[in-house]
């Protein structure tokens, strides 16, 4: 089973939930797809065993063959390649590696070369199989890195995917294909606003979802009212607690600091499993 953990807004405790859920279960693979800011490793402290460079194919023009006809620039939807007089200009950060320019070039003057966008690291954190992607600084192409990272998913395990917050392309890439999406929110007007957007995204992907309310004793009751109205199950509530905040600030997993939470996370998993069994009939 693949469970993705996501949130409409940052700072709701998504990584805390993902890592502690992983630490509470057996036979787990934790895949951190928050490639711009992967921080699950801070809590899980994995031993990294393998490092894989990930690149995308980008064009390289052979000037000796190029006639500056401009066909490559015409086909590029992203303005990543421009022909100006006797020069072909290439803007790598705009290139989506679609291959259109090399396909269209009448002189066969474009060859594709690999441009590194980030790395994937794999290892073990106790009994947990650990995978995370790290996007190069300033690199906008997160989705190809996430796609490559998800090829390492082990379907024989319970897989927990930690996505980045929001509803943009990297989040969609991380969440799609999961069996269940757990949305972490806070009971504030900001939390509710961003939860609505996240629910819309997950529903468009046709993935069953549930909500975890973090810092459940602050703010107002509108998140619960919204979930009831939308028939979204609230599967777990975690209070605002100084002990939890202190453990977080030291990079100590919640289930190590307050062991009672282990059974609460197991119960969360059981609820998700039961719901999926009921849905599949």
Q: Is 71 in the site for ligand SF4 (CB under 6 A)?
A: yes
Closest alpha carbon to 40 in 155, 118, 134, 144: 134
Q: Of 79-87, 140-148, 219-227, 266-274, which part binds ligand SF4 (CB under 6 A)?
A: 79-87
Out of 27, 48, 78, 127, the only residue in the binding site for ligand SF4 (CB under 6 A) is: 78
- The residues in 87-146 that bind ligand SF4, with binding defined as CB under 6 A, are 88, 95-101, 105, 107, 109-110
| Cβ within 8 Å of residue 14, ≥6 positions away | 5, 6, 7, 34, 162, 163, 165, 184
Closest CA to 117 of 35, 10, 22, 209: 35
What mask, x for binding ligand SF4 by CB under 6 A, covers residues 32 to 61? ---------------------------x-x
Cβ nearer to ligand SF4, comparing 93 with 228? 93
* 66 touching ligand SF4, by CB under 6 A: yes
What's the CA gap between 156 and 67, in Å, rounded? 53
Is residue 68 a contact point for ligand SF4 (CB under 6 A)?
yes
Taking CB under 6 A as the rule, does residue 80 contact ligand SF4?
Answer: yes
Stretch that binds ligand SF4, among 10-18, 24-32, 80-88, 183-191 (CB under 6 A): 80-88
- Alpha-carbon Rg for the chain, nearest whole angstrom, is 22
From candidates 1, 42, 83, 234, binder to ligand SF4 by CB under 6 A: 83
Q: Name the residue among 113, 179, 175, 170 with its Cα closest to residue 145.
A: 170
Number of residues that bind ligand SF4 (CB under 6 A): 27
The β-bridge partners of 31 are 131, 161
Distance CA 48, CA 148 (A): 18
DSSP letter string, 142-158: HHHHHHHHHTT--TTSE
Q: Contact residues for ligand SF4 (CB under 6 A)? A: 59, 61, 66-72, 75-76, 78, 80-81, 83, 88, 95-101, 105, 107, 109-110
């Amino acid at each position: 089973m693949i469970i993705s953990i996501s949130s409409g807004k940052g700072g709701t405790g998504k990584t805390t939930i993902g890592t502690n859920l992983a630490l509470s279960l057996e036979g787990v693979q934790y895949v951190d797809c928050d490639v711009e800011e992967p921080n699950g490793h801070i809590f899980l402290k994995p031993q990294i065993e393998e490092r894989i460079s990930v690149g995308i194919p980008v064009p390289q023009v052979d000037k000796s063959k190029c006639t500056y006809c401009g066909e490559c620039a015409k086909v590029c939807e992203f303005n990543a390649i421009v022909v100006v007089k006797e020069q072909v200009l290439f803007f790598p950060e705009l290139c989506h590696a679609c291959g259109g320019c090399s396909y269209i070039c009448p002189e066969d003057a474009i060859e594709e070369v690999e441009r590194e966008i980030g790395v994937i690291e794999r290892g073990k954190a106790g009994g947990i199989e650990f995978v995370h992607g790290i996007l190069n600084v300033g690199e906008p192409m997160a989705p190809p890195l996430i796609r490559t990272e998800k090829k390492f998913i082990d379907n024989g395990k319970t897989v927990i995917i930690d996505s980045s917050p929001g509803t943009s392309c990297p989040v969609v890439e991380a969440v799609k294909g999961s069996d269940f999406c757990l949305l972490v929110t806070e009971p504030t007007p900001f939390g509710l606003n961003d939860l609505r957007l996240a629910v819309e995204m997950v529903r468009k992907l046709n993935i069953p979802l549930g909500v975890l309310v973090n810092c459940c004793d602050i703010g107002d009751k509108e998140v619960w009212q919204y979930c009831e109205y939308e028939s979204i199950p609230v599967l777990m509530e975690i209070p605002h607690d100084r002990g939890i905040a202190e453990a977080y600030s030291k990079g100590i997993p919640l289930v190590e600091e307050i062991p009672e939470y282990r059974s609460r996370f197991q119960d969360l998993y059981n609820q998700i499993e039961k719901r999926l069994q009921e849905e599949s009939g």
